[in-house]
Structure 1
């Protein structure tokens, strides 16, 4: 009996000691946990062939990386030549077969301009976003602007007491923008513990033209507030508890629109329904703006070789979690109405970014809810593990098995309007000469000859041979 009492006192003392350590020992900042790295960018000089939706183009690509101290500059000079052009058809095109007739296209020549790193007091990146997350990711998580050139800017006080993170999706045609501010009101340099690291944050992100097939629709807006407790902040790892609450305003409720039948000649997507070909037209009468809400309670862990996040989520019907994700630019307005239901949804979200060895980085994220809707991200990047071989791949899909007509695993591997896929394989034939094979599948927004904006499937296969370098 005395032995048990002694053990109880020992455990109490151990618990108090650990708690005291967590609350009072200040953090160190000699090291930063791994960051959410780009999965689909690199430098290259060469040429080859591109096959876009069955049409062949000669391809020349110059992709230099130029380090300038804390600055970094990357260019993406990609030119396609169409030998079969007739009459007034352009012979020289930009990447993806686009003509040189917009600011967005010209800005794509700049892959990125960067200063410092995301955790530094001042950081900015002008260029493409492969996997951008704002805050804890409840509103924007894994967002990509798909080769457009946007702006990501972080400004924070040197000891982390307050800061602002902002983004803009496309400098040539700005449509999606917003950011998050945070403050640690109790933080004191001389007394840095669990309570003084308590953090408050607020997020606002909007899309001012979510559905270009509808004239005069309201912008889509998402507003969030969050509270966080960085339990442990050390030189090699960080552990956070947090809660995010957000509301969304849909730009066009289903009851405030009518569907006009159309008969497209191909599989172009022109409406907010995935199984019909129609165009959304706003009625003259406006309806009350619908507001949906969502809440996520989570724990996040970041270390030198791993980032892990786990959340429990609950939403009202119609709310889309992490709506600005990798598929947002590809699928809006296709996803309006996907998440409509008769009751609140509950479910879990988990994410892991793991670097088991320096040559290999893995990404995985999965979410699932009680109405059987799921979303998946998978990414991998390998460099140097196999001699002369490099591999990059990214796949994402949402609303897996939601239609009920196909099984979960069948729908998971099928490429359709709910998915995006990119794979790049490099082989070093004779150093530094490389052969590169790329396959890409996604949807993109295009403008017809009649001036209407619509979505169409985009498939691109390219084979190139050229020179690659590493700084």
Structure 2
């Protein structure tokens, strides 16, 4: 790599690693339902865009929503797990995440003012997780009855934030100091207490604290997992009963210091031990996965030791794309190439990041750096379900996604890999009639600055088209505009209509020729417009609807595309196919009048998914395409796409087994029917994404997990290995591990 390229790479990585420091000034069916209010007219709910939502009993609140109680109390139920929340008058509570919604693993909310009491449900597998925050405190629990208060300053008293446990156990962290305490029933604490230690509260203080947070309609004893088997110890002073109850069995002792230490350690540190198949070779693997959460900022690391025979021999460790990721510059020439050595240090550090995330996509401001499992721009015409971790852990990338969403406008930007950035994308959108009509008009662009880099020298030397493609070194430039209009925005039914149109304009860096036909350098506007006829070409558009109905989510769209344009061009398999796409583009530019580029295509794409009882997620999708030939005939097109998926949460079926599988295949019908040059042996080729897992929990802390996926074969330098048909060769990736740590 040249000096300028090395410096550019180093700046990209270091900027991304420093971004969290300077940027933070700071289940589709999982909802929080409003069950009761003493005065419904006082309740106000705002969505993530600060639009006020119509209020009624039974309304469901989703992540990003905020409820303000005014002069009324309110009671909420979390569905489907059954936890309940009581809000006092004058309370503002924000729903941050819900377990099972968009693959979130915890229920989290922020109490901005007022008082809130949570009675948290326990599940049989103990996998329900809850985090309740205030500006100064974070309380983390699994199943318990506790409350938080944010009390404003008043005459003669400063503002304060307090936590109290009615029943169960709670970890409370002071954000300012990082100190953590363990509270049990009858204990409380206030932010700023010195020392920051649990306190036994007296009856008078408890009575004052629980003012306005005693449940009126919802019953804490009916919360799943908290049904009393014995008379609970009361949190308030009450008159003794006429006859004393039978003596309860001895209670389990509260966790000691050692229990708290190992519980906390398991919460932030994970350990995977087992084997993994990479490039048809089986490796031993020990991986540490520490996780840290501070407010809305989450950090997760990936520290792998992947070896052939000897874990303690660094020379025996796996080197991704030929890089010794544990050298941190010690194998570099610091005197001759200091910039290259610094770049190696930055690269090795970056590879240890699994993700750094501030809030979720759709928040007023968010970013994520690391693994990006799915990414869509606009309505998906240019980029839909792109993933930079399709071949993880064989190939690891440090992607970056940042977004701002305001009432009247928003933007989102994306880079596939900060270590070796190639694919850039973004969308700027406006809501000109907001907040009355939240329709958005968007403008998107995606570019791949070096798709020919996926073709290695050996492949180029043995193939004329690949050689011409590497010489031409084209750039993909795709642009689009879209409109989406929310029609219905209810909890039981939501519906959004959309339309998007876009085009692909390649840029060729160096002139070349293919089959004795020249391809000149420059921006190839003739790829988008036939200047002889004035007609557009190599473009596409789509229109349709998407939404939710009860526990179903759906999407139905009509698509049209012409020439070499493909809807969802940047899809889940794009990284494997970008070299092939670059070669196809050079072949097209060498003969734009060839018959195979004269037809147009259209299709109907439908998707349907369902989430049942927060336990099972399943669905399917299919694109049914056909081609309109230059003569006007309609014939079946081979470019169909099938998607099947399901996920079963641990603990639902006997033995607590969890499982999941996703199969996505383009050219599915041709492979199954053996036409258009495909065979059934191609059902798992480069156009296929397969990802499956099976887990068996031994304890709360330990699970046996097996995973299988498909990955492209790569050589020792990390370059794709191509077959005689010009397509990358594929191989299965199989992982069997013992995973240690709380889920």
TM-score category (smaller protein): 0.7 to 0.9
**Structure with the larger helix share:** 2
Deviations 1:335-385 (CA, angstroms, capped at 9, x unpaired)? 464995431111111223431221222343321210232112333222222
Q: Secondary structure at the match of 2:575?
A: helix
State the match for 1:352 in structure 2.
608
State the match for 1:249 in structure 2.
505
State the match for 2:657 in structure 1.
389
Q: Secondary structure at the match of 1:243?
A: strand
Structure 1 residues 436 and 252, CA gap change in structure 2 (3 angstroms): farther
Aligned mate of 2:486, from 225, 230, 236 = 230
Structure 1 residues 166 and 457, CA gap change in structure 2 (3 angstroms): same
Instruction: Return the alpha-carbon distance in structure 2 between the equivalents of residues 329 and 105 of structure 1.
Output: 22
Structure 1 residues 285 and 197, CA gap change in structure 2 (3 angstroms): closer
State the match for 1:269 in structure 2.
none
- Asked if the contact 1:230/1:239 (under 8 Å) is kept, the reply is yes
- Asked if the contact 1:231/1:240 (under 8 Å) is kept, the reply is yes
Instruction: Return the alpha-carbon distance in structure 1 between the equivalents of residues 555 and 693 of structure 2.
Output: 27
Q: Secondary structure at the match of 2:546?
A: strand
Q: How does 1:311-460 map to 2 (within 5 A)?
A: 311-335=557-581, 337=584, 341-370=597-626, 371-384=637-650, 385-386=652-653, 387-402=655-670, 406=674, 411=680, 414-443=683-712, 448=717, 455-460=728-733
- Asked if the contact 2:673/2:680 (under 8 Å) is kept, the reply is no
Instruction: Return the alpha-carbon distance in structure 2 between the equivalents of residues 76 and 312 of structure 1.
Output: 41
Structure 1 residues 468 and 395, CA gap change in structure 2 (3 angstroms): farther
Instruction: Return the alpha-carbon distance in structure 1 between the equivalents of residues 271 and 721 of structure 2.
Output: 34
1:438 Cα deviation from its structure 2 partner? 1.8
Instruction: Return the alpha-carbon distance in structure 2 between the equivalents of residues 77 and 304 of structure 1.
Output: 41
State the match for 1:264 in structure 2.
none
Deviations 1:34-92 (CA, angstroms, capped at 9, x unpaired)? 865489xx98413112233342322101223333221222222222012289xx99312
Is residue 118 of structure 1 aligned with residue 376 of structure 2?
Answer: no
- Asked if the contact 1:77/1:109 (under 8 Å) is kept, the reply is yes
Q: How does 1:14-413 map to 2 (within 5 A)?
A: 27=53, 30-32=61-63, 36-37=102-103, 44-83=270-309, 90-93=315-318, 99-100=324-325, 106-146=349-389, 147-157=396-406, 160-188=407-435, 192=436, 196-212=437-453, 213=455, 214-234=470-490, 237-250=493-506, 257-258=513-514, 285-286=520-521, 288-289=524-525, 290-291=527-528, 292-302=538-548, 305-335=551-581, 337=584, 341-370=597-626, 371-384=637-650, 385-386=652-653, 387-402=655-670, 406=674, 411=680
State the match for 1:467 in structure 2.
740
- Asked if the contact 1:315/1:345 (under 8 Å) is kept, the reply is yes
Instruction: Return the alpha-carbon distance in structure 2 between the equivalents of residues 161 and 251 of structure 1.
Output: 34
Say which one has the larger Rg: 2
Q: Secondary structure at the match of 2:698?
A: strand
Higher RCO structure, 1 or 2 (CA under 8 Å, sep 6+): 1
Structure 1 residues 365 and 465, CA gap change in structure 2 (3 angstroms): same
Instruction: Return the alpha-carbon distance in structure 2 between the equivalents of residues 282 and 120 of structure 1.
Output: 51
Q: Secondary structure at the match of 2:315?
A: coil
User: Could you list the runs of 5+ residues in structure 1 that have no partner in the other structure?
Assistant: 1-24, 260-280
Q: Secondary structure at the match of 2:474?
A: coil
Q: Secondary structure at the match of 2:668?
A: coil
**Structure with the larger strand share:** 1
1:468 Cα deviation from its structure 2 partner? 3.0
Deviations 1:274-295 (CA, angstroms, capped at 9, x unpaired)? xxxxxxx996744845231001
Deviations 1:360-414 (CA, angstroms, capped at 9, x unpaired)? 2234332121023211233322222224212232222212244797169964972
Q: Which moved more, 1:232-241 or 1:202-211?
A: 232-241
Instruction: Return the alpha-carbon distance in structure 1 between the equivalents of residues 565 and 292 of structure 2.
Output: 43
Instruction: Return the alpha-carbon distance in structure 1 between the equivalents of residues 378 and 685 of structure 2.
Output: 30
Instruction: Return the alpha-carbon distance in structure 1 between the equivalents of residues 720 and 387 of structure 2.
Output: 24
Name the Cα RMSD after superposition: 3.7
- Asked if the contact 2:713/2:720 (under 8 Å) is kept, the reply is no
Instruction: Return the alpha-carbon distance in structure 2 between the equivalents of residues 35 and 222 of structure 1.
Output: 32
Instruction: Return the alpha-carbon distance in structure 2 between the equivalents of residues 232 and 69 of structure 1.
Output: 33
Q: Which moved more, 1:131-140 or 1:49-58?
A: 49-58
Q: Which moved more, 1:233-242 or 1:197-206?
A: 233-242
Instruction: Return the alpha-carbon distance in structure 1 between the equivalents of residues 104 and 472 of structure 2.
Output: 36
What is the TM-score when the length of structure 2 is the normalising length? 0.50
Structure 1 residues 142 and 166, CA gap change in structure 2 (3 angstroms): same
1:150 Cα deviation from its structure 2 partner? 0.6
- Asked if the contact 1:65/1:72 (under 8 Å) is kept, the reply is yes
Instruction: Return the alpha-carbon distance in structure 1 between the equivalents of residues 322 and 732 of structure 2.
Output: 11
- Asked if the contact 1:330/1:444 (under 8 Å) is kept, the reply is no
What is the TM-score when the length of structure 1 is the normalising length? 0.76
1:170 Cα deviation from its structure 2 partner? 0.4
Structure 1 residues 198 and 422, CA gap change in structure 2 (3 angstroms): closer
Deviations 1:83-122 (CA, angstroms, capped at 9, x unpaired)? 289xx99312257996428665642321111111212101
- Asked if the contact 1:204/1:221 (under 8 Å) is kept, the reply is yes
